[in-house]
Structure 1
Amino acid sequence: MRESAAERHDRLLALVRERGTARVSELADRLGVSPVTARRDVEALAAKGLLDRVHGQVSWPERQGAAAGGRTGEGLVLGLLAPSATYYFAEVIRGAHEAAARAGARLVLRISDYRPEDDRARTEGLLTAGAEGVLVAPGWRGPEDRLAYGDWLAELPVPAVLLERSADPGSSLDSLDRVVSDHGHGVLLALRHLLGLGHGTPLLVARGDSPTALAVRAGYAEALVALDVAAPGPVIDSVPADQDPEGFERAVRALHEAVTSGRATAALVHNDVDAIQIVQRLAELGVRVPQDLALIAYDDEVAALADTPLTAVAPPKRQVGRHATELLVERLTEAPDEEAARRHLSLLPRLRVRASCGAPRPGRAF
């Protein structure tokens, strides 16, 4: 897989941090890139204050603010609690790791396996391991978990940033910093795209076993109101095919009936894995994507790998990890007399258009 610019920047920063000072030509050799690419990378990082550049050489910067009694990110230990290290959260973790490396901080990871009852003990383990601040994505599956296993977060003795999790307005958790994807905006993008292709209101096929799934469902209801359209039927409850084959088949049959009866010609499916398996099963039943059904997946982890590459809503997972880590480092390095306002940061998903939506429908407005 081709290395991204962000990954190359991280390697470059690590080299300079290790050596203290290095020539641009030397960095190009060590990174395996052209001198022009290395010079461009150095200029970009220097512009952000991550490197000092003088006469063809770069050096690790003397951090501004240290002399005034403030801390730098160098040497910090950050903790990250995630419900999983695969699928959706793999990219969140990756973004957090990149941002920590850029700040010269060490990131320590704990995985909850979606067991919210263990979140507190695992976070305390991060503190024992030396974490001076934590990024926390609790293993909640629904609102009941948040109520039962959430209050301890507001009592942590170190700064904390919530990842991809929200809180009830006015609750103790609502005063924490948080960085989330705006899933409502992602759903709106999907529905607007399908309506623009001339389809009637798309159906939603979604799970109900995670905060993302619940946010997609809530976003669907909000999007229907915003677009002034009525749903062609109730939300179809989806379940993992490997865990509940009968429930999965019921979802496929419900979508199949909606298509063959003419009630729906488009659907939004959460998540990618379910969408791919649903498309495969529909084909066995004689419903083709995109000829008979235009389909958009939600998450964009593996959507592009389907036989018919699936158009997908892509939450900014990696950027969530990066921004949350940068915010945590800022909290840990701000001067003691500063009283910076807490932040609730929402990042907007993108729609990646592929083959599964087909062309605009004839005779319909685009």
Structure 2
Amino acid sequence: MRESAAERHDRLLALVRERGSARVSDLAGLLGVSPVTVRRDVEALSERGLLDRVHGSVSWPRDAAAPAADPAGGPVIGLIAPSATYYFAEVIRGAHEAAARAGARLVLRISDYRPEEDRARAEGLLASGADGLLIAPAWRGAEDQAAYGDWMAGLPVPTVLLERTPAPGSPLDGLDRVCSDHRHGVLLAVRHLVGLGHGTPLLVARADSPTALAVRSGYEDALAVLGHTGAPAMIGTSGPEVDPARFDAAVREVRDAVISGRAASALVHNDVDAIHLVQRLSDLGVRVPEDLAVIAYDDEVAALGDIPLTAVSPPKRHIGRCATELLISRLGSGQDEDEPGRHLALLPRLRVRASTTR
């Protein structure tokens, strides 16, 4: 994917801020672009007061510690998200709504699920005058947090994490955060399927995102809560667009479980995978919901399938709203040492549709 000018500016600002000053020719090599491109970027950034230019070099402005004021007079809030589509589109919309109500300006940066880019995005936002940050790190698993996460604990402005739960006891565990309670969402789904008399449901899930991992963990907890003590009936998949062969194998594993009588229901993460699964199962002679009741997790496009899918709906827009309101309250109160940090967990809901009703 081609890097945008805004993303390149973020990287350039991060490099200069880290070094204090740098030669334009050196920046071209570090950024992997031509000297002409860097000179053009430096000119644009210096005109905005974000860099100082001196004889072929650039330096960090002496007064950069003071955030630039927003023309409207309200605070500037930086938001870093791994994507602006699918799940996070609603989170961003909620954050924008809350910022607008408070008279704040929201500035968005997208990491494209590259955790190594999160820090540069934050540096760029700070250089542009952000008074506080909302960050949904681009982690896919615990290894990404360990490799790319600790720097967030040292940010000089109030920071709220979105939809990410750091490892207990880690430097980030003391940050404010607002997350969906995915364990509760999975419990809603499993309890609904068990209540319909389907026995232990299958879980068909990826393992390539914090939400996917939370759904897997929540599934095991839900079975324990409901007294299903056998080994979890979990089928791993990478999704049809990532690994078609593995996804096809997962579909056939589900088909075999239905035919053998081992399963009559399934929870599938995410919506897109669930829609593909239902389509493939139909080709193999398995009917939904007659042979297999299906619940999707995310509720982004679940209602749009040939058979509208029952789905767990995390409160995505409310995550954005609550996180923004929390950050604005921090900006209003300043760094009050007596103010406790907050870990807010918002509860998903279950939207019942045709895929679990006969």
CA distance in 2, matches of 1:284, 1:337: 61
State, as a whole percentage, how many aligned pairs show the same letter.
70
Shift in Å, 1:231: 5.0
Deviations 1:88-131 (CA, angstroms, capped at 9, x unpaired): 00000000000000000000000000000111011111111111
Shift in Å, 1:189: 0.2
Shift in Å, 1:243: 2.2
Shift in Å, 1:337: 5.3
Equivalent residue number for residue 199 of structure 1: 198
CA contact under 8 A between 1:206 and 1:238: conserved in structure 2? Answer: yes
Equivalent residue number for residue 252 of structure 2: 253
Deviations 1:245-288 (CA, angstroms, capped at 9, x unpaired): 10110110111111011000000000000000000000000000
Equivalent residue number for residue 151 of structure 2: 152
CA contact under 8 A between 1:84 and 1:90: conserved in structure 2? Answer: yes
Equivalent residue number for residue 81 of structure 1: 80
Equivalent residue number for residue 217 of structure 1: 216
Shift in Å, 1:170: 1.6
Equivalent residue number for residue 327 of structure 1: 326
| Alignment of 1:263 onto 2:262 | yes
CA distance in 2, matches of 1:74, 1:258: 61
Equivalent residue number for residue 283 of structure 1: 282
Equivalent residue number for residue 342 of structure 1: 341
CA contact under 8 A between 1:232 and 1:263: conserved in structure 2? Answer: no
Give the TM-score taking structure 1 as reference length.
0.77
Equivalent residue number for residue 97 of structure 1: 96
Shift in Å, 1:239: 1.6
CA distance in 1, matches of 2:220, 2:122: 35
Aligned residue type for 2:89: A
Q: Which segments of 5 or more consecutive residues in structure 2 lack a partner in the other structure?
A: 1-71
Equivalent residue number for residue 162 of structure 1: 161
Q: Name the CA shift for 1:123/1:337 in 2 (closer, same or farther; >3 Å).
A: closer
Secondary structure in 2 aligned to 1:86?
coil
Q: Which segments of 5 or more consecutive residues in structure 1 lack a partner in the other structure?
A: 1-72, 360-366
Equivalent residue number for residue 25 of structure 1: none
Aligned residue type for 2:176: D
CA distance in 2, matches of 1:338, 1:214: 34
Within-5 A mapping of 1:16-27: none
CA contact under 8 A between 2:201 and 2:233: conserved in structure 1? Answer: no
CA contact under 8 A between 1:232 and 1:264: conserved in structure 2? Answer: no
Secondary structure in 2 aligned to 1:123?
helix
CA contact under 8 A between 2:132 and 2:327: conserved in structure 1? Answer: yes
CA distance in 1, matches of 2:243, 2:315: 29
CA contact under 8 A between 1:201 and 1:230: conserved in structure 2? Answer: no
CA contact under 8 A between 1:79 and 1:107: conserved in structure 2? Answer: yes
Aligned residue type for 1:306: G
CA distance in 1, matches of 2:212, 2:335: 40
CA distance in 2, matches of 1:296, 1:308: 11
Deviations 1:178-225 (CA, angstroms, capped at 9, x unpaired): 000000000000011011111111010000000000000000011111
Q: Name the CA shift for 1:152/1:232 in 2 (closer, same or farther; >3 Å).
A: closer
| Alignment of 1:112 onto 2:111 | yes
CA contact under 8 A between 1:202 and 1:231: conserved in structure 2? Answer: no
Q: Name the CA shift for 1:228/1:74 in 2 (closer, same or farther; >3 Å).
A: farther
Which runs of 4 or more aligned residues in structure 1 lie more than 3 Å from their structure 2 counterparts after TM superposition?
230-234, 335-338
| Aligned-pair Cα RMSD in Å | 1.3
